A and B are shown apart, each in its own frame.
Chain A
Amino acid sequence: MILNVLIWAALLIGLFFNALGVIGILRFPDVYTRLHADTKATTFGSIFTSLAVMLYGVSQFFSTTDGQYAALVFHTIIAVIVLAVTNATGAHAIARAAHKRGHGPNPSVVDRLKETSK
């Protein structure tokens, strides 16, 4: 019963942050600020939806002792680790490519990278 509430809470938090990521893409002005909203809010949201899956798997594993639910939990853990690492690296690669291509942050108050690369 309590576990069900926890699963629903994790799912709702995850959906909330994923939705904010989408709204952020539409609202923010340039590529860097959009990357902030897009990659990071969605990582956090996906961690919470994965947490809901893990909680479900653990509860089912202890009530049915069926091995496939343990597999579900472990695979979700691996998915979260891979998601966190690749999301950070991908965001870094996109930002770097955009800056090399000449898209400076706009609007911005300061750009130290542009000053040093010239």
Chain B
Amino acid sequence: MSNMISFFVTSIFSFVVYLLLTAGSGSVLRLWSSQEIMAGAVLGLITGFAARKFFCSQRQSAPLNPLRWITAVLYVIGPFFIEMAKANVDVAYRVITGRIRPGIVRVKSGMKTDLGTLMLANSITLTPGTLTVGIDEETNDLFVHMINIPEGTEARESLEAREVFSIFNCPAWIRRIAE
């Protein structure tokens, strides 16, 4: 049963991507030609059959839930983008003044799934001022290079993931999306 669901989810996803790539080809809804829609549907079914095991496996059921997709989009355009903008201004300031205090700290991720750890690591890397260098594969802890370590933080054994972000609680969002 869940095999069928993952087949349909993968098919619909690849169909949507195909439609995005071929937009502007014809007159259906002013955007697509009917041939492209037919070709997209057939290719989507083939892709769905071939890739269903990779896209949403038993262990990784998060992509199956459409609510998580909406949460992911909200997360990217809301809290994540604001974090990124604020941190970019911070790095711009450091580029101009040259005031840096770099180092690598250990950050407890608290994620249980691979997808969650991946999203957290990428979020950390994309917010400037922090860069994921390595990962402890047993505990899912991340090693994060920070361009400006706050005074006194370097003595601590590890940081919580929450402390890497300044305004929003991004790890909680990621947990809602990926776990």
Contacts and interface: CB of A to CB of B under 8 A. Distances in A.
Given A85-B122, A95-B131, 15 more contacts: A36-B147, A40-B126, A41-B128, A66-B24, A67-B31, A71-B22, A74-B24, A75-B20, A78-B17, A92-B121, A108-B104, A110-B103, A110-B154, A113-B133, A116-B136
A98 B93 CA distance: 26
Nearest to B143: A113
Contacts of A89: 122
B78 to A, nearest CB: 15
User: SS class of chain A's interface: helix, strand, loop or mixed?
Assistant: helix
Interface string A2-44: 0000000000000001001001100110101101110111011
Nearest to A22: B95
B128 A40 contact: yes
A46 to B, nearest CB: 12
Contacts of A95: 131-133, 145
B167 to A, nearest CB: 16
